[in-house]
Amino acid sequence: MCIACFSQTTHQTIAAGLGKQTSSSAMEALIDKPGPIEIETIASADWVANLSGLINLKDPKAVQAGLKDREEPIQIYMHLLRHPTEGFYMIDTGVSKRFVRDPKSLGVGWAVRNFAKLDKMQVRVEPLSAVRSKGVPLQGILMTHLHLDHISGMPDIQRDIPFYTGLGEANGKKFENVFVQGMENRFFEGRPAIRELQFTKDPDGKFEGVIDVFGDESLFTILTPGHTAGHISFVARTPEGPVLVTGDACHTRWGWEHGVEPGTFTYDRESERKSLFALKALSERHPNMVVRLGHQP
């Protein structure tokens, strides 16, 4: 127990009414078959982050490659997801222009503005216009996790839209959350309780848990903790084949190709490594799967 530690937000959480427990074997028996989900990944903003945060530079593979800390160009994504009957969902929120232009007015404190290099964030496509362009109501936001750069589109999202996270995501405690808790609470103020997907252990032992999101085997979410306490990834069955959205289980292309987990932006390194290796093994078993990483193409 971490006494001087804070949760990401103290906003109320409830059990999500969405999702059905399944297993990795049931998911994997199906994912190479075409499915009905349309998924559009949009780079909402360009940004930079320290490589030491994005990749564990102490990993022997990073040492051997001579990787040194520096600013690395990255992107912030939002994924627009269409299901034929369940409607329009988003994975993560992208970045709203207001968040970059006037973070102070949204309760983003000085420490966060500086640490997160918000002055180097440049919005390309704001969530508001992306959502409007679909011309259909947004049903919900599926959050890989609740870090700043994933909720930064929230000012553009209507107050009544439900947010879904992995189990324990909001309440995972870490000292650094002292800097973000007030801001996150403000972002969630006046919004419905955060709906936590109720994972149980994958009976096949490959993952920490697998949920069939809509109960029709079209979209799966996998519990991939480590980067945060309740981090989740997604596998969507599209007409062209499976698409894996790793979220920040892996930030960078180098990290994915070399199997090196994120660096200092980590909640628990041991489980983060396990989650990354489990996703890599999944993609090796399904070579046709398109992989969309946390912050790089």
Residues within the interface to Zn ion (CB under 5 A): 149, 248
| 83 or 273: CB nearest Zn ion | 273
Q: Which is nearer to Zn ion, 156 or 248 (CB)?
A: 248
Nearest Cα neighbor of 279 from 203, 206, 204 is: 206
Q: How far is the CB of 267 from Zn ion (least distance, A)?
A: 12
What is the smallest separation between the CB atom of 208 and Zn ion, expressed in angstroms?
20
Instruction: Report in angstroms how near the CB of residue 292 gets to Zn ion at its nearest.
Output: 13
Helix (H/G/I), strand (E/B), else coil: 141: strand
Spell out the SS3 assignment of 43-103.
EEEEEEEEHHHHCCCCCHHHHHCCCCCCEEEEEEEEEEEEECCCEEEEECCCCCHHHHHCH
The residue type found at 209 is G
How many CB atoms are closer than 10 A to CB 134? 14
Smallest gap from residue 51 Cβ to Zn ion (A): 14
Residue (96 or 218) nearer to Zn ion, CB? 96
Q: Measured from the CB atom, is 31 or 54 closer to Zn ion?
A: 54
* Residue 16: C-alpha distances to residues 19, 26, 85, 158, 192 (Å): 8, 22, 19, 19, 12
As measured in angstroms, the least distance from the Cβ of 22 to Zn ion is 27
Bridge partner residues of 243 (DSSP): 236, 290
Is the Cβ of residue 149 or residue 156 nearer to Zn ion in the bound state?
Answer: 149
The distance in angstroms from the start CA to the end CA of the chain is 37
